[in-house]
Amino acid sequence: MERHGSPALSDVSVVWFRDDLRIADNPALTAALNRGSSVLALYVLDEESPAIRPLGGASRWWLHESLLSLEQSLAELNISLVLRKGAAGSVVPDVVRDLGASSLFWNRRYGAGEIAVDAELKQRLRGEGVHIESFQASLLFEPWTIRTGQGSPYSVFTPFWRACRSKADALRLPLPTPPRCNLLAPALGSEDITTWALQPTDPDWAEGLRQTWTPGEARAHERLHEFLEEDLEIYSVGRDVPAEHATSGLSPHLRWGELSAHQVWHEVQQIRAHLSPVASEGATKFLTEIGWREFAWHVLFHFPNLSESNWRAEFNEFPWRRVHPDELVAWQRGATGYPLVDAGMRELWNTGTMHNRVRMVAASFLTKNLLIDWRVGEQWFWDTLVDADQASNPFNWQWVAGSGVDAAPYFRVFNPELQAKKFDPQESYIRHHIPEWGSGRYPQPIVALDESRRAALAAYQSVKRQGS
């Protein structure tokens, strides 16, 4: 069978990797290998397709390192990883045609732009005789499978997660690392990843990222086991104390699919029967955080413009202040004069992450004390977080701002001084990230907390009245 002058379809399968940079529990890869044909792996850096958001700087650094790790893992399976840059709608068919491949496999994505690309590709290539299959891999529950009794999507987390848990017994078991492929796919040119300029060079601001993280599937599993053995027992309490380092540290590994939610879920379930009551409480809380991630994707699927538009329409009239560049830069650089906020923002810049409790405080300070539009903060986090994904990042910003689903009450303004006294009473976290704290070199507060809180409450009251 000839296609547009291309070679006849051959027994080659292409696995298109996206946010699933692992070989274990990768349904698309396993299905391709089960066909018994030769397999070629493909990754496309798509910065051209409409509605697909270009990666931020910290994410680009992580991607570079993770792809190098994936390339090594695939080589052990006798599979080559081909790198291409361009619009996926053009690049993927070109690779399939160049190989004369008979099959194409991928794991599903849930952003509107990505869905549009995948749907168009599936229709076009199936029309050319290519066998295509897609799989559930990154979420425990696909967004359209969880509905209210009325058949609508959920907008409150607690009933959403209750509905998810009621279906948990049907979750599939994680797939093992697949066996080595006996057949080598035909050679196909791959781009040099260094030409993609994913890593910063002038200046090289990624030294703190390199010291903090080791991207890749192997490290993801190491970190999961470390967390379960060392930190799970104190998680329910320690997760709120930034100096404790009691959080899982798995979010970037999950974001890039170096570890799957199914793997995490089943690893926790396997050890639950042997846990103390305190550790069991930690396990429940930790899995609830996995559920929060699921909820973010559920909301994004049903509200695709989550990073651009207020979920609550009444917030379209919110009286955000005009951005004062000096205030914004002070927040970004960790120089607001409020040490818990500043410690978090410096941690973010140096390491590509920020403790979850401090993220809420820093986001509240920007949106409520400075009255700066949440989208400004979301964009900064998008550029500086190694775990920034298109669901959780805007979802959490809208939660803090009050414009999203199941949002924090409008009157909840995190006081950074009280939060520091409660969660960092010894100032261990603050002093670690702000060496000049307590000296005359530390900046004065850029805004008064009481006055700015009153202004925020007045602004939120006006929106509340409009909503009513």
pLDDT digits (tens, 9 = 90+) for 317-346: 999 999 999 999 999 999 999 999 999 999
| Same domain, residue pair 389 and 254 | no
Expressed as residue numbers, the domain containing 460 is 313-467
- Is residue 281 domain-shared with residue 326, that is, in the same domain? no
Q: Which domain-ending residue is among 115, 137, 159?
A: 137
| CA separation for the pair 272, 283 (Å, rounded) | 7
Of the pLDDT bands very low, low, confident and very high (cuts 50, 70, 90), residue 4 is: very low
Average pLDDT estimate for 252-274: 96
Lowest mean pLDDT among 243-247, 351-355, 364-368: 243-247
Q: Domain check: are 88 and 230 in the same one? A: no
Quote the pLDDT of residue 8: 46
- Whether 192 is in a domain gets the answer no
Count of beta carbons in the 10 Å neighbourhood of residue 308: 10
CATH number at residue 27: 3.40.50.620
pLDDT for 389-433, tens place per residue? Answer: 999 999 999 999 999 998 777 778 999 999 999 999 999 999 999
CA–CA separation, 143 and 153 (whole Å): 8
Identify whether residues 326 and 297 lie together within a single domain: no
pLDDT the model gives residue 402: 94
Q: Do 147 and 293 belong together in one domain?
A: yes
How far lies 41's CA from each of 190, 222, 253, 307, 365, in Å?
11, 25, 20, 31, 44
Closest by alpha carbon to 370, among 310, 311, 316, 448? Answer: 448
403, 231, 191, 438: which is closest to 308 by C-alpha?
Answer: 403
Residue 76: CA atoms inside 13 Å, Cβ hemisphere, count? 11
What's the CA gap between 98 and 34, in Å, rounded?
A: 23
- Pairing state between β 10-17 and 131-135: unpaired
- Is 156 contained in some domain? yes
Same domain, 22 and 148: no
Nearest Cα residue to 227 out of 255, 266, 268: 268
pLDDT class of 467 with cuts at 50, 70, 90: low
Query: 304 Cβ partners below 8 Å, 6+ apart?
Result: 111, 112
Tell me which residue of 384, 381, 407, 393 sits closest to 460, measured CA to CA: 407
Mean pLDDT across 119-148: 97
Which pLDDT does position 84 carry in this prediction?
A: 98
Q: Which of 77, 5, 68 is nearest to 40 (CA)?
A: 77
**What are the catalytic residues?**
289, 292, 320, 356, 374, 397
In terms of domains, do 97 and 243 share one?
A: no
Q: Are 260 and 336 found together in one domain? A: no
Q: For the chain, what is the radius of gyration of the CA atoms?
A: 23
Which residue, of 283, 302, 321, is where some domain finishes? 302
170-229 per-position pLDDT tens digit:
999 999 999 999 999 999 999 999 999 999 999 999 999 999 999 999 999 999 999 999
Boundary residue ending a domain (302, 335, 355): 302
pLDDT tier at 273, thresholds 50, 70, 90: confident
Same domain assignment for residues 360 and 293: no
pLDDT in tens, 18-66: 999 999 999 999 999 999 999 999 999 999 998 899 999 999 999 999 9
Instruction: Calculate helix-pair angle for 88-99, 112-127, nearest 10 degrees.
Output: 30
pLDDT at 292 over 50: yes
Number of folded domains in the chain?
Answer: 3
Predicted pLDDT at 9:
58
pLDDT at 466: 66
Higher pLDDT, residue 287 or 6: 287
Task: Report yes or no on 421 lying in a domain.
Answer: yes
Residue 6 in this model has a pLDDT that exceeds 50? no
Who has greater pLDDT, 440 or 104? 104
CA pair distance 47, 15, nearest whole angstrom = 20
Q: What is the DSSP letter of 134?
A: E
